[in-house]
Structure 1
Amino acid sequence: MKVEAAKRRSAMHRLAGVACLLAGILAFVPGPSLAAETDVPTASIPADVSPLVAYSGRVAGDDARTRLILDFDKRPEISVHYVANPYRILIDLPDTVFALKKDDVAARGLFSDIRYGGMAAGRSRIVLTADRPASVVASEVRKEEGGTGYRLVVDTAIVTEDAFAKLLSGQSWKDAAAVAESRPVLPGAAADDGGTFVIAVDAGHGGIDNGAQGAATGTHEKAVTLDFARELTSALNASPATKAVLTRDKDEFLSLSQRVQLARNQGANLLISIHADTLRQKDIRGATVYTISDKASDSLAANLAARENLSDEIAGMPLQGEPAEVADILIDLTRRETQAFSISLAKEVVGAFEGEVKLINNPHRHAGFRVLTAPDVPSVLLELGFLSNKDDEKLLLDPAWQKKVAGLIAEAVQRYRSAVMANGG
């Protein structure tokens, strides 16, 4: 046992040392700013702190031309951008409350999917996804006659591939945002002095990205994950010398890379990402713990990872490149160390759940989840259950069940900590 403990402490020291070196190198490696992924020109966003309210809307047209109409309580200021693969029109707005009925702006005509929601930092977005290249050909805001509201009318039409390519190359919003060098900060958190065990608790989805939807209640996954993440944070913070922090503490969108960077910026010792997905097989239920791997353990894990990795695409984010080649060797080294610790944590969580929480068959699985790619932070993705299963959904919405499961995870984290960080490791 002493030999094994010594091996664990040695591994942790190697991981810490390589992580520090990696951080130093990455600080000098040019790469895309996280702000570049979501920022739009600030001149298009009014300073009014009171959010807009979109209270009704409709979509009409065919597969050549489609009109989007939205009614607001105040005059909206919009900016329009385009993203390829798939073809998307992004309509950016100031902070907006979408008080729309489910079918008000259902996808039709040119558009195979229409999503809307918050993008953080006082911004909201509408994402129009098309099967063919399309663009906005006209837009206007009309004041409601005899009333106080305003109507936004956006006309779209198909364009050629060449025309769409010109729209992509001609827009300047990404360039304008790229000059910002700010990095995200965990809400309400201060940098740790190194003497505390830090856990980043990541509530999956948020803002424009609703995630899965409950079979019985229609509850969005983003609400389930945030409720549970808050409960888990409280349970973890009850442990001595432990600080748990949320990557998001409200209904806002964070890109997958932002979630990873938030954990790293805080010096997190662990990242736990919370999810509650849906499956076509509604009889499948139970919790699953995922770790990262280049090769998926099975088709269920592969399909789930593919869906979760679409989060940025859903929000209209351009795909970002991998870190510069100069850091690849160090990243690979730290990933090997980190993956071993991630697997250790996953086993502790599965062990804590056995006999207490319903588990899926083979509850520890692995796949290429982008949210688990921090090279120096052991990370797991926890599927609490499946919102497609009514029994799971009922438990997921039960505060007493959430409290119980959060307590079990907190105990598992403490056992993990004791095993790999004993004696100041």
Structure 2
Amino acid sequence: MRGRRQGLVFTRLTMLVLRPLFVVLALVCALSPSVSARASDDDAAAPLIAYNALLVGDDARARLVVDFDRKPEFSYHYLKDPARVVITLPATAFGFSDDAVEARGLISDIRYGVTGPGQSRIVLSAREPIQMTLAEVREEGDAGFRLVIDLAIADSALFEKLLAGRQETPAAAFARQDVAAPEEDDSFVVAIDAGHGGIDTGAIGEDSQTLEKDITLDFARAFAQKLQAVPGYDSYLTRDADIYLSLTRRVELARQHGADLFISLHADSLNQPDISGATVYTLSDRASDRLAAALAERENLSNEIMGIEASVEPEEVTDILLDLTRRETQSFSISLADQVVAAFEGQISLINNPHRYAGFMVLRAPDIPSILLEIGFLSNPEDEKRMLDPVWRDKLVDRLVDAVTRYRSPMVSAMP
């Protein structure tokens, strides 16, 4: 961990001071027989110097950042058994520590080194099919150039398609068609996320021992079916069975299926059984109240059940445009939450101050407006009884469909 933290932030001044040391170390590594064959006498070109690197991510995404002294031209291709992305570079001296690129999450192994005269490679092996979602070189002023590679989970069909282009693909030819994308149509896609699942049962009802994971899946299926019946709308269930999904995987699946909205359904439990009613949550770094903070903390523990580390995105690779996207998305999320509250009022029991906010990990998609809906609380006997009633369930689902269509209507009318 210490090596990873040291690699997180380098100021330009620090780079200018330390780079000569990295160069010496990297050249020693490049000329070592254990790393590659000795360079031929007529090899006049000096190798690139990769003086710093960082690999971060979770079980759904990964980002590799490598800093070079000069601009690296590179190409890439995919391999399988296991799924791999191979980054081909000119002769490169790798001067960073192994700790900086220790395999984690989606990435099961990473190897790098000289693979032939004038050629080096970085090979990223994954635990399942993957796709490259970003491949670019950024100029960092006096600090040199930065290679940024983003990877994400992919379905088997897409990965087989990527494998078909087995030949080396120049970086300049990388395009977003490499990324999973649904066929263009006019459908408004809502990703419906049934909270919990599999080994993660969620809350348990006080009276009937109802499992939250069963309640959320039941409501998610009903919501998806109702929404599918509305012309111009489509739905995607992040899970349609009793399986475990990490929080980041839920978000990534929604993104890959072209979701325009993300709605996560929950039925939590509280230490105060007298509290009842539906609640709508949006994302915020600062919780609106203690109840919201406690719920977010409990929901965010889902990843720990399977020993999944939280995603780490170093500050220096955060894009300004991405931050602007997050702000716009947050505004849309709040609008959606307001529509849900308006649709429920007088029809579905609501908690006091029904729109609240906290740092829910499952709401962190930067590009998809997202809300978390607590249908009710399993700690309250009346709420539990209502949630087990198919008639009440259908009533809530109808109100939720109404909220989604209300939300979209102003957007459609504003289109040119």
| TM-score class, shorter | 0.5 to 0.7
Letter in 2 for 1:198: V
Task: Identify the range of structure 1 (324-333 vs 223-232) with the bigger mean alpha-carbon deviation.
Answer: 324-333
Query: Cα distance, 1:331 vs. partner?
Result: 2.2
Please tell me whether the aligned partners of residues 59 and 308 of structure 2 are also in contact (alpha carbons under 8 angstroms).
no
For this pair of structures, how many residues does the alignment match?
A: 265
Structure 2 residue corresponding to 1:257, chosen from 248, 251, 255: 248
CA distance in 1, matches of 2:347, 2:226: 17
The 10-residue stretch of structure 1 (317-326 or 265-274) with the greater mean CA deviation from structure 2: 317-326
* Alpha-carbon separation, structure 1, partners of 2:342 and 2:356: 14
Aligned to 1:175: 108
2:104 & 2:320 partners in 1: Cα distance? 35
C-alpha distance in 2 between matches for 1:228 and 1:395: 12
Cα–Cα, structure 1 residues 240 and 31, in superposed 2: closer, same or farther, change >3 Å?
A: farther
Query: Which position in structure 2 is the counterpart of 1:316?
Result: 307
Which blocks of at least 5 consecutive residues in structure 1 are unaligned? 1-28, 38-168
Tell which has more relative contact order, 1 or 2 (C-alpha 8 A, sep 6+): 1
> Alignment identity in percent?
55
User: 1:213 corresponds to which residue?
Assistant: 204
Q: Secondary structure at the match of 2:262?
A: strand
Quick one: distance in 2 between partners of 1:279 and 1:296? 17
1:374 to 360, 365, 371: 365
Amino acid at match of 1:385: G
Pick from 23, 32, 48: which aligns with 2:57? 32
Q: Does 1:356 align with 2:347?
A: yes
The 5 A counterparts of 1:270-419 are 270-322=261-313, 325-419=316-410
Report SS of the residue matched to 1:267: coil
SS at match of 1:355: coil
Q: Is the 8 A contact 2:192 2:236 kept in 1?
A: yes
Q: Distance in 1 between matches of 2:181 and 2:106?
A: 31
Distance 2:373 2:407 in 1: 16
TM-fit CA distance, 1:179: 1.4
Partner of 2:189 in structure 1? 198
Shift of 1:221: 0.5
User: SS state of the match for residue 57, structure 2?
Assistant: coil
Structure 1 residue matching 2:222: 3-state secondary structure: helix
Q: CA deviation at 1:319?
A: 2.7
Q: Which residue of 1 aligns with 2:68?
A: none
Displacement after TM superposition at 1:338 (Å)? 0.5
Given that residues 286 and 358 in structure 2 are in contact (C-alpha distance below 8 angstroms), is that contact kept between their aligned partners in structure 1? yes
Over 3 Å counting, the alpha-carbon distance change for 1:337 and 1:194 in structure 2 is farther
Rate the CA distance shift 1:345–1:172 in 2: closer, same or farther, 3 A.
closer
1:68 equivalent in structure 2: none
2:269–2:377 CA contact under 8 A, matched in 1: yes
Rate the CA distance shift 1:301–1:253 in 2: closer, same or farther, 3 A: same
Conservation of the 8 A alpha-carbon contact between 2:59 and 2:105? no
Q: CA RMSD in A?
A: 2.8
Describe the SS at the equivalent of 1:179. strand
Aligned to 1:420, the other structure's residue is in SS state: helix
- Residue 422 of structure 1 and its aligned partner are, at CA, apart by 2.0
State the distance in 1 between where 2:215 and 2:105 align.
Answer: 37
SS at match of 1:175: strand
How far off is 1:324 after superposition? 6.7
2:58–2:310 Cα contact (<8 Å) kept: no
Q: SS at the partner of 1:288?
A: strand
3-state SS of the aligned residue for 2:184?
A: coil
In 2 relative to 1, CA 227–170 (structure 1 residues): closer, same or farther, beyond 3 Å? closer
The one-character-per-residue Cα deviations of 1:346-400 (angstroms, maximum 9, x if unpaired) are 0100001000111000000000100000001000000000000000001111111
In 2 relative to 1, CA 330–235 (structure 1 residues): closer, same or farther, beyond 3 Å? Answer: same
Maintained 8 Å contact 1:275/1:382? yes
